[in-house]
Amino acid sequence: MTNKIYYTKPSITNLEIEYANDAAKNGWGNDCYKYIDLFEKKFSAHLNVKHAHATSSCTGALHLGFYSLGIKPGDEVILADTNWIASVSPIVHLGATPVFVDIDPKTWCLDPDLVEKAITNKTKAILAVHLYGNLADMSEILKISSKYNIPVIEDAAEAIGSEFHGKKAGSMGEFGTFSFHGTKTITTGEGGMFVTNNDQTFERILQLNNHGRSPSQIKQFWPEEIGFKYKISNIQAAIGCAQMERIDELINKKREIYNIYKELISEMQGVTINYEQENCKIGAWINNIVLDPSLNVSREALIKNFQKYQIDARVFFWPLSSLDMFLSRESNIHSWDIPSRAINLPSYHDLTIDDQVRVINVIKETILAS
């Protein structure tokens, strides 16, 4: 029987198990933050940022960050229409209005030209999401930020391993956020990270994520405001520490998978894969293919054929403005068009070259049958 090729799964070794066991057995009392502190130090060093604060999810990290900026009802936050709901939900929870603009058809990320056109006197932040490990054009977006004095936030949930002109994704804006969900390049099962180079922002986050208790407050159980609790556990952080010790290996394997897919697809007409800009390196968390309309192959036809051959595949994110809770913006042409003819390919660390050839052969067969 042909082995099933999964869409995604984490890379867990004996090192992760060893650290998790130690945290479960010994990580209590005075050691209850041992692995959390170490995880944060390892992550900030990898990213070359001053501060890192581990959270329960990337969504929680975004919520804390937007709250720290004072985002409130009546404010607007600009972001790309093609994204997962987690990027926009904290904005809505704070009562602010998300302003969806179209994506760049090459990077699938925020189009800087459209960002500037969308700015109003209500705009309080620009959210640049590095979709699937691809990179938003941070040079242009940061120029806009400086011109209008509007902070740029990086949602780098999917972009561990991605670098823009020598700077790691998540390290360039006012703050960055990351995800360690079980599907991600590094994982803690569930979890996230808030990073920043701003000392005041970091102190604010520490207070907010401790039920509003200031780190300098000497009174026990004395909150100074209503805060949050988006905290990661010591056991989760232990797994994260092991993953960080393997970070180069994990990133390099994702890059290897991307380059093999890229080579296999290179001779196929009308099929494109994640775009890598000049002087950039994408982490390639998930590899995606987009089919030219002339091929007349739908996303549904591809997925059906993958299922036939015991291969998992996943749809490209729907445009957020197509969801029932938002006003439709079909004028965002690329955001509405590209997902209809694109899918996520299996991209997990244990994928073999033979597995990748199987995946590409199904794509070829589907195109020939159309």
DSSP of 258-320: HHHHHHHHTTSTTEEE----TTEE---SS-EEEE-GGG---HHHHHHHHHHTTB--EEPPPBG
Residue ending a domain, among 216, 245, 274, is: 245
- Looking at the structure, tell me whether residues 229 and 320 fall in a common domain: no
- Looking at the structure, tell me whether residues 74 and 220 fall in a common domain: yes
Residue pLDDT, tens place only, 70-91:
999 999 999 999 999 999 999 9
Where is average pLDDT lowest: 56-60, 147-151, 238-242, 298-302?
Answer: 298-302
Average pLDDT in the chain: 97
- Looking at the structure, tell me whether residues 184 and 333 fall in a common domain: no
Task: Say which residues have a Cβ less than 8 Å from residue 222's Cβ, sequence separation at least 6.
Answer: 213
**Does 309 reside within a domain?**
yes
**Does 131 reside within a domain?**
yes
- Looking at the structure, tell me whether residues 127 and 263 fall in a common domain: no
Domain that residue 81 falls in: 14-245
Residue ending a domain, among 195, 223, 245, is: 245
- Looking at the structure, tell me whether residues 302 and 179 fall in a common domain: no
- Looking at the structure, tell me whether residues 163 and 300 fall in a common domain: no
Percent of the chain clearing pLDDT 90 (strictly above): 96
Q: Count CB atoms within 10 A of the CB of residue 148.
A: 12
- Looking at the structure, tell me whether residues 328 and 292 fall in a common domain: yes
Handedness of CA 238, 240, 241, 246 (dihedral sign): positive
- Looking at the structure, tell me whether residues 148 and 34 fall in a common domain: yes
- Looking at the structure, tell me whether residues 102 and 174 fall in a common domain: yes
Residue pLDDT, tens place only, 137-180:
999 999 999 999 999 999 999 999 999 999 999 999 999 999 99
**Does 58 reside within a domain?**
yes
- Looking at the structure, tell me whether residues 151 and 102 fall in a common domain: yes
- Looking at the structure, tell me whether residues 212 and 89 fall in a common domain: yes
